[in-house]
Structure 1
Amino acid sequence: MKNEVTQESLQVVKDFFGALGGDKEELLALVAEDIEWIIPGEDWPLAGTHRGHAGLADLLQKASDEVETTYPKPPEFVAQGERVFVIGVATGKIKATNKMFKDDWVFDITVRNGKLMIIREYIDTQALARASEMPASTKP
């Protein structure tokens, strides 16, 4: 039974990552109505706790508007029961500042009843905040 839960959780998370950047309806079908996505940090556009389908949709739109991101290699998935850890690296730039970043990250995802319930990101908040900093305005 536990192995079945692990395999189901793993597949749902892989499907979610596959749907990112694609069909919004497919993506929302994989997450619970009351999903909670927690992105730590301050001083960069995506930080905060995003709740529910509306919060998720807003986060994904903001990410598309604010950040250009590439993933130089596929992430690693590690699953046990309802929890799936996704380990990867992202590179990209913050559009508003045109500053580049490299972000080593881990997502800690809880899956229940075939839906993503909680996503906790562990990311390089300093690199992202630094890339989001606007230059100090110079006054005459």
Structure 2
Amino acid sequence: MSTETNVQTVKDFFAAIGRGDKEALLALVAEDIEWIIPGEGWPLAGTHRGRAELAAVLQKASEEVETTFPEPPEFVAQGDRVLVIGVATGKIKATNKPFNDDWVFAITVRDGKLKKIREYIDTQALAWAAQPSNAQP
């Protein structure tokens, strides 16, 4: 697949997430997708493997985190690797605490499907937002 096709596949994936279109986004990922969300102390951290785990973490995200993306992300690609660079703001619903997260997703596309996603995020900001009010950051 061409670099341009890989970028379009990733853009289609993000658009499906934005629309909440579970079927479309699952159609864009490999059966053995791996999504790594770093950190501890916040609801989405961990390594999620396969379409079922991907669907579960996205469902959990919609239930536990309110997120907005104030600017469109930037896409940088070479071969089968697409970096998506952006900013997210929002809050953890359980604590009602806000966060500001500058992030990069490193995505590998194989045979027209997302094979691996590795997030580089502000884990400290997200973990702090997930802590109850009386906890120290």
TM-score by length of 1: 0.93
Give the match for residue 102 of structure 2: 104
Report how many aligned residue pairs link the two structures.
134
**Are 2:27 and 1:20 aligned?**
no
In 2, the alpha carbon distance for the partners of 1:14 and 1:136 equals: 40
- Identity over aligned residues, as a percent? 75
Give the match for residue 135 of structure 1: 133
In 1, the alpha carbon distance for the partners of 2:94 and 2:21 equals: 26
Give the match for residue 34 of structure 2: 36
Give the match for residue 55 of structure 1: 53
Give the match for residue 76 of structure 1: 74
Give the match for residue 85 of structure 2: 87
**Are 2:8 and 1:8 aligned?**
no
Give the match for residue 64 of structure 2: 66
TM-superposed deviation, 1:136: 3.6
**Partner secondary structure for residue 20 of structure 1:** helix
TM-superposed deviation, 1:57: 0.5
The answer for unaligned runs of 5 or more in structure 1 is none
Q: Which deviations, in whole Å up to 9, do the C-alpha atoms of 1:23-65 show, x marking residues without a partner?
A: 2111100000000000000000000000101000000000001
Question: Which aligned segments of 4 or more residues in structure 1 are displaced greater than 2 angstroms?
Answer: none
TM-superposed deviation, 1:8: 1.2
TM-score by length of 2: 0.95
In 1, the alpha carbon distance for the partners of 2:129 and 2:4 equals: 37
RMSD over aligned CA atoms reads 1.1
